[in-house]
C-alpha cells in the first residue's frame, strides 16, 4: 500500500463482537484501515492515543438533509404519510441555494456529532420553485457538496431522477423543481457534477410513481456505466403498490426488474411487503 500512514491506539474499540476490545492498534493508509492489532497494553511509539470507546464511522445511507426542518412539525392529530408529504412540499418550495447550504451544513454537523462520517444524500431539489434551472443547473447540488465540505463529512450525492407527480400524472406545484423533463436531460445535468476526495456522485430513481417505465433504463445505464449505486424508493406506501398493479399489472419490484434496475448496485429503500393476511402494513416513516 502507498500513502501516508497514521497509527491510532484505542483504549477500547469495537471490532464487531459482543464486547469492546482493549488496547487496539489501528493502522490507517489514506482513507482505509489497513491493519488491526488487539491486546496491546500501551500505545506504541508514534501512535495517537484515542481514549474511551472507538467505533467505526457510521453511514447514513439515505439522507434527506432539507427535511431536518420538519422534525417535530408533522404527524400530529393522526396525520399520515400523505399529509406529511404536503408539509414537505411546502418546505421544499421555500429553499434556495443559500438557505439550502445553511440547513444542510447544520444537518451534516449534527450527523457528525452522532458518529456519522458518511452521508448518502438523496437529492431531488434540483431547480427553482417554478421548475426553472438556476444559472448553474446544479446549484442546489453544489450547495450540498459545499455544506458537506464545511461540516467535514464525506458525501455521496445521490442525484435523483424525478419526472412525474404520480403514475400518469404531471409534476405540479412544489414538484416542478424536482424534474428535468426526461431521463436524458437528467443524465446531462448530473454529468456536470464533479467528484472529489470526499465526494462521489451516485444515481436514484425516485420511485415507480415518479419515473415512468420508459425513462428508467437511461438512469440504470448511467449508474452501471460509472459503477455507482442506484437508489430507489421501492413500494414505499400501500397506495403506491396498488396504483402500480392497476396501471402496469405488476408490483413496483417487478416493474423495476423488468426495466433492468434490479442489479447488484440497487439500494431499495422503504419497501413494504403484502402479508399473507391480505392487509397492507404502513411503511416505516419515509420521504417522498
How does pLDDT run across 138-169, given as a tens digit for each residue? 999 999 999 999 999 999 999 999 999 999 99
- Tell me how many domains the chain contains: 2
Q: Residue 275 falls within a domain, yes or no? A: no
Residue 36's φ and ψ, nearest 5 degrees, are -135, 120
| Residues 247-268: tens digit of each pLDDT | 999 999 999 999 999 999 999 9
pLDDT at 275: 44
pLDDT at 111: 96
**Shared-domain flag, residues 33 and 172:** no
pLDDT at 153: 97
pLDDT at 40: 96
pLDDT at 270: 83
pLDDT at 112: 96
| Residues 55-80: tens digit of each pLDDT | 989 999 999 999 898 887 666 676 77
**Shared-domain flag, residues 211 and 137:** yes
**Shared-domain flag, residues 91 and 105:** yes
pLDDT at 282: 35
pLDDT at 272: 67
**Shared-domain flag, residues 112 and 220:** yes
Q: Residue 253 falls within a domain, yes or no? A: yes
| CATH number where 135 lies | 3.20.20.140
Q: Residue 286 falls within a domain, yes or no? A: no
Q: Residue 285 falls within a domain, yes or no? A: no
Cα separation, 283 vs 252, whole angstroms: 14
Cα separation, 90 vs 242, whole angstroms: 26
Q: Residue 279 falls within a domain, yes or no? A: no
pLDDT at 274: 54
**Shared-domain flag, residues 199 and 156:** yes
Q: Are 204 and 187 in contact (CB under 8 A)?
A: no
pLDDT grade, residue 137 (50/70/90)?
Answer: very high
pLDDT grade, residue 277 (50/70/90)?
Answer: very low
**Shared-domain flag, residues 47 and 73:** no
Q: Residue 278 falls within a domain, yes or no? A: no
Residue with cell string 403514475 = 167
Q: Residue 283 falls within a domain, yes or no? A: no
Q: Residue 276 falls within a domain, yes or no? A: no
| Residues 172-212: tens digit of each pLDDT | 999 999 999 999 999 999 999 999 989 999 999 999 999 99
| CATH number where 25 lies | 2.30.40.10
Instruction: Report whether pLDDT(287) > 70.
Output: no
Q: Are 198 and 155 in contact (CB under 8 A)?
A: yes
Instruction: Report whether pLDDT(89) > 50.
Output: yes
Residue 109's φ and ψ, nearest 5 degrees, are -65, -40
**Shared-domain flag, residues 257 and 132:** yes
**Shared-domain flag, residues 62 and 16:** no
- Structural domain containing residue 46: 5-54
Q: Return the higher-pLDDT residue of 239 and 194.
A: 194
**Shared-domain flag, residues 62 and 50:** no
pLDDT, averaged across the chain: 90
Considering the entire predicted model, what is its pTM? 0.85
| Residues 94-129: tens digit of each pLDDT | 999 999 999 999 999 999 999 999 999 999 999 999
**Shared-domain flag, residues 156 and 17:** no
**Shared-domain flag, residues 68 and 25:** no
Cβ neighbours of 64 (radius 10 Å):
18
**Shared-domain flag, residues 145 and 226:** yes
Q: How far is CA 231 from CA 202, 205, 219, 269, in A?
A: 8, 6, 10, 7
Amino acid at each position: 500500500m502507498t500513502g501516508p500512514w497514521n497509527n491510532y491506539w484505542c483504549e477500547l474499540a469495537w471490532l464487531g463482537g459482543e464486547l469492546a476490545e482493549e488496547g487496539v492498534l489501528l493502522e490507517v493508509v489514506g482513507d482505509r484501515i489497513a491493519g488491526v492489532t488487539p491486546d496491546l497494553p500501551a500505545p506504541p511509539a508514534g501512535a495517537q492515543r484515542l481514549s474511551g470507546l472507538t467505533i467505526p464511522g457510521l453511514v447514513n445511507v439515505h439522507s434527506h438533509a432539507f427535511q431536518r426542518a420538519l422534525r417535530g412539525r408533522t404527524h400530529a392529530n393522526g396525520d399520515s404519510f400523505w399529509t406529511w408529504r404536503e408539509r414537505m412540499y411546502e418546505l421544499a418550495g421555500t429553499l434556495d441555494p443559500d438557505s439550502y447550504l445553511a440547513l444542510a451544513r447544520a444537518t451534516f454537523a449534527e450527523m457528525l456529532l452522532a458518529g456519522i462520517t458518511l452521508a448518502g444524500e438523496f437529492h431531488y431539489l434540483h431547480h427553482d420553485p417554478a421548475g426553472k434551472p438556476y444559472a448553474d443547473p446544479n446549484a442546489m447540488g453544489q450547495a450540498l457538496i459545499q455544506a458537506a465540505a464545511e461540516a467535514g463529512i464525506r458525501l455521496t450525492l445521490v442525484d435523483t431522477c424525478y419526472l412525474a407527480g404520480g403514475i400518469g400524472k404531471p409534476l405540479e406545484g412544489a414538484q416542478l423543481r424536482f424534474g428535468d423533463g426526461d431521463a436524458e436531460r437528467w443524465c446531462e445535468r448530473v454529468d456536470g457534477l464533479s467528484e472529489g476526495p470526499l465526494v462521489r456522485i451516485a444515481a436514484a430513481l425516485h420511485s415507480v410513481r415518479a419515473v415512468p417505465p420508459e425513462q428508467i433504463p437511461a438512469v440504470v445505464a448511467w449508474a452501471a456505466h460509472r459503477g455507482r449505486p442506484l437508489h430507489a424508493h421501492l413500494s414505499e406506501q400501500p397506495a403506491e403498490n396498488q396504483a402500480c398493479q392497476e396501471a402496469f399489472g405488476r408490483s413496483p419490484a417487478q416493474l423495476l426488474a423488468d426495466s433492468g434496475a434490479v442489479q447488484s448496485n440497487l439500494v431499495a429503500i422503504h419497501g413494504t411487503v403484502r402479508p399473507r393476511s391480505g392487509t397492507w402494513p404502513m411503511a416505516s416513516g419515509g420521504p417522498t
